[in-house]
């Protein structure tokens, strides 16, 4: 368990079913369907970057595959306080709220963790796109996010829906030596635990992430960090997650994302960080200008997911895609 964390859970579990508010089936007693009280929003639950909502567990429950998100397709009647309350009650790392439809397939979207609003969330964007596609059919969407416009394409492949988002323009910056030292201290990593071929950087493609590459898979797997210390550093640097990565092959990576600023120990599948990592890999010349990268995330948490990162020559933006499914 991370040092200083209040719980060993890597994900805040949803609350037990209730008779009022959020309940637990599609007839009005669950968080993933329509609430029965007047003025209560319809809250859906989806997992992103995995098509297995129960992780192979026939009993269901919390998904052990991909990253779960709450989705509210009509949040036009909700103020910021209510959106935050819904996100906190769900307990997922982020939830997405469509506050306005601005055109055909075009929406304004906001994202909330259990603790605060966040500027962008990749997996909740994918989850929302999949929810819209199940309702309206696959096609082209565009979300006006707090950081800019994010197009999403949803297609059906082999019976499964797949959503691919296109990031805002990314950028990559150097990491100050003192900040790197503090991050390593919070993680309880030595400088020798880093892979010198993948130098530390802060990367942005909708949100800021500190990219740190582990020299071995074992180092990546052994995550035991000082929750409060890392949270304080991330607030100071305006970071959403740390993107911890190990390179298995030229275009194959394993990643983990501590997320203490969102109130959870670790994010199971992080689309925004995947986009930032794609920009990082291209900026440092680690991959060709045109490339498709595969990122495996969540396996160390028991929630395996797969994120596909696409880079195109002549286009600075990064595309991140994956499957997903509704959680019943």
Q: Which residues are catalytic?
A: 94
Tokens linked to 161? 């829906």
Helix (H) or strand (E) holding 217: helix 217-221
Taking CA atoms, 226 is separated from 6, 108, 116, 208, in Å, by 11, 36, 21, 20
Closest C-alpha among 96, 102, 91 to residue 71: 96
Q: How many helices (H) and strands (E) does the chain have?
A: 6, 17
Taking a C-beta distance cutoff of 8 angstroms, is the pair 223, 267 a contact? Answer: no
Which residues, including other chains, have CB under 8 Å from residue 82's CB and lie 6 or more apart? Answer: none
What number of other Cβ atoms are within 10 A of residue 197's Cβ? 10
Taking CA atoms, 322 is separated from 36, 163, 303, 305, in Å, by 32, 6, 15, 9
C-alpha span between 194 and 200 (Å, rounded): 9
Taking a C-beta distance cutoff of 8 angstroms, is the pair 171, 282 a contact? Answer: no
Closest C-alpha among 259, 249, 266 to residue 300: 266
C-alpha span between 96 and 206 (Å, rounded): 15
């Amino acid at each position: 368990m991370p040092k200083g964390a209040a719980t060993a859970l890597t994900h805040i579990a949803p609350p037990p079913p209730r008779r009022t508010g959020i309940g637990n089936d599609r007839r009005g007693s669950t968080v993933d369907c329509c609430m029965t009280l007047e003025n209560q929003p319809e809250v859906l639950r989806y997992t992103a970057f995995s098509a297995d909502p129960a992780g192979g567990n026939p009993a269901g429950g919390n998904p052990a595959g991909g990253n779960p998100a709450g989705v509210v397709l009509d949040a036009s009647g909700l103020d910021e306080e209510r959106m935050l309350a819904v996100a906190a009650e769900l307990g997922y790392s982020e939830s997405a709220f469509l506050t306005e439809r601005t055109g055909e397939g075009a929406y304004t979207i906001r994202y909330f963790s259990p603790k605060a609003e966040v500027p962008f969330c990749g997996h909740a964007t994918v989850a929302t796109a999949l929810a819209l596609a199940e309702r309206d059919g696959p096609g082209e969407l565009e979300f006006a996010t707090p950081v800019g416009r994010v197009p999403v394409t949803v297609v059906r492949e082999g019976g499964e829906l797949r959503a691919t988002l296109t990031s805002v323009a990314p950028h990559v910056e150097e990491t100050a030596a003192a900040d790197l030292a503090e991050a390593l201290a919070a993680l309880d990593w030595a400088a020798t635990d880093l892979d010198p071929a993948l130098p530390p950087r802060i990367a942005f493609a909708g949100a800021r992430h500190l990219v740190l590459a582990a020299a071995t898979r074992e180092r990546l797997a052994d995550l035991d960090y000082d929750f409060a210390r890392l949270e304080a550093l991330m607030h100071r640097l305006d970071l959403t997650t740390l993107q911890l990565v190990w390179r298995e092959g030229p275009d194959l990576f394993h990643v983990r994302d501590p997320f203490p600023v969102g109130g959870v120990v670790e994010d199971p599948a992080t689309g925004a960080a995947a986009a930032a990592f794609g920009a990082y890999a291209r900026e440092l010349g680690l991959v060709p200008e045109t490339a498709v990268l595969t990122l495996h995330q969540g396996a160390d948490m028991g929630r395996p997911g797969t994120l596909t990162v696409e880079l195109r020559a002549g286009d600075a933006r990064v595309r991140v895609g994956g499957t997903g499914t509704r959680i019943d």
